[in-house]
Amino acid sequence: MANLTLLQAVNDGLKIAMREDPSVLVFGEDVGPKGGVFLATEGLTAEFGEERCFDTPLSEDGIIGAAIGMAMNGLRPVAEIQFQDFIFPAFDQIVSEAAKLRYRSGGQYTAPMVIRTPYGGGIRGGLYHSQSGEAYFCHTPGLKVVIPSTPHDAKGLLIASIQDPDPVLFLEPKALYRSVKGEVPEGSYSVELSTMRTAREGDDVTVFCYGAMVPVCEQAAESAAASGISVEVIDLRTLYPLDEEGVLAAARKTGRVVNVHEAPRFCGYGAELSAIIAEHAIEHMEAPIMRVTGFDTPFPNTLEHNYLPDHRRVLDAIERVHAF
């Protein structure tokens, strides 16, 4: 076992996948010799050469369009979008082409490709380097959306995503890149997509979260325990396709649910979770389902600490549903 940061685990996962399968290519803006703005691809060009890890022009739609063509012709591209905020020029390529390829071709073609991109706040990047756009893509059938929160899962989920026969959007919480460390197995392993992880066992309240909100919710659960409230923290890991049965079982277990994400509240991912639970487990609910989210504003710079949910806001929601 190696003790790695989440960023190092991503780098290790890319190296393992490229060593195991010569059809895996990595490309994007500054990912080559420089190793990317966060150094997630550091050392890949040196080991695999510029034919397998290379820089591209500053053209997100070109990056994704090229990846689709490669995937249709036997390669397994891993395309990096430097920041998730920059992905929108490629939105049509992702939603209208990559995600629909299997369906529109009657299964003759698919797009086994991964789109890696750092997302979310926590680095004071301001409104153009801090957005959380996962809900846009979870609305798209044919596209898988994956978000790790631990180094172990980052490597295992990334390898599983590269091996998957369909396009996967792999969102990396940049606030956790270097702030969390954990034991990561050496060599190749995978974490099955569409499976959630119980980050903390509990009996009184269930908190659903993902990405950078997982450690925030774990801290809130620790504070709640001091008041005698037992909180179960569920790390969703794959947002789409969701492990709905796992979600419903966790919600029924406690009858009290808090959904947490840093994206804006309106039509955010927590709303879909709330709807699923309300439709299929309402008879088990002992309190209204609560959401703790970012605000319905552009992402602020100097007020980032106010915008992002913290353990105090999550703890307040936990206490309110517990006392209902």
Task: Give 55-114 pLDDT, tens digit per residue.
Answer: 999 999 999 999 999 999 999 999 999 999 999 999 999 999 999 999 999 999 999 999
Query: Could you give the CA distance from residue 58 to residue 121 in angstroms, rounded to a whole number?
Result: 23
pTM (predicted TM-score): 0.97
Active site residue 129: yes
* 274-290 mean pLDDT: 98
Tell me which residue of 292, 48, 14 sits closest to 163, measured CA to CA. 14
Could you identify the residue written with the tokens 């517990």? 322
Tell me which residue of 117, 212, 148, 152 sits closest to 5, measured CA to CA. 152
pLDDT value, residue 44: 98
Count CA within 13 A, CB hemisphere, residue 5. Answer: 14
What token pair was written down for 187? Answer: 């060599």
pLDDT value, residue 162: 98
Beta bridge partners of 246: none
Q: Pairing state of beta strands 238-240 and 168-173?
A: unpaired
pLDDT value, residue 279: 98
pLDDT tens column, 21-38: 999 999 999 999 999 999
Query: Could you give the CA distance from residue 160 to residue 148 in angstroms, rounded to a whole number?
Result: 12
pLDDT value, residue 59: 97
pLDDT value, residue 145: 98
Q: Which CATH number fits domain 197-323: 3.40.50.920, 1.10.3720.10, 3.40.50.12500, 3.40.190.10?
A: 3.40.50.920
Q: Where are the beta strands (DSSP E) in the chain?
A: 2-5, 24-28, 53-55, 76-80, 114-119, 144-146, 168-173, 181-184, 197-200, 205-209, 231-235, 238-240, 257-264, 290-294
Q: Sign of torsion, CA 282 287 292 293?
A: positive
pLDDT value, residue 38: 97
Query: Could you give the CA distance from residue 41 to residue 44 in angstroms, rounded to a whole number?
Result: 6
Question: Quick one: fold of 2-184?
Answer: Rossmann fold (3.40.50)
Residues 6+ apart with CB under 8 A from 217: 199, 207, 209, 233, 260, 311, 314
Q: Pairing state of beta strands 205-209 and 257-264?
A: parallel
What token pair was written down for 176? Answer: 């956790």
* 274-280 mean pLDDT: 98
Within this chain, domains 2-184 and 197-323 share the same CATH topology? yes
pLDDT value, residue 264: 98
Instruction: Report residue 203's pLDDT band, with 50, 70 and 90 as the boundaries.
Output: very high
Where do the domains of the chain lie? 2-184, 197-323
| Average confidence score pLDDT of the chain | 97
- Residue of 129, 152, 311, 322 marked catalytic: 129
* 179-183 mean pLDDT: 96
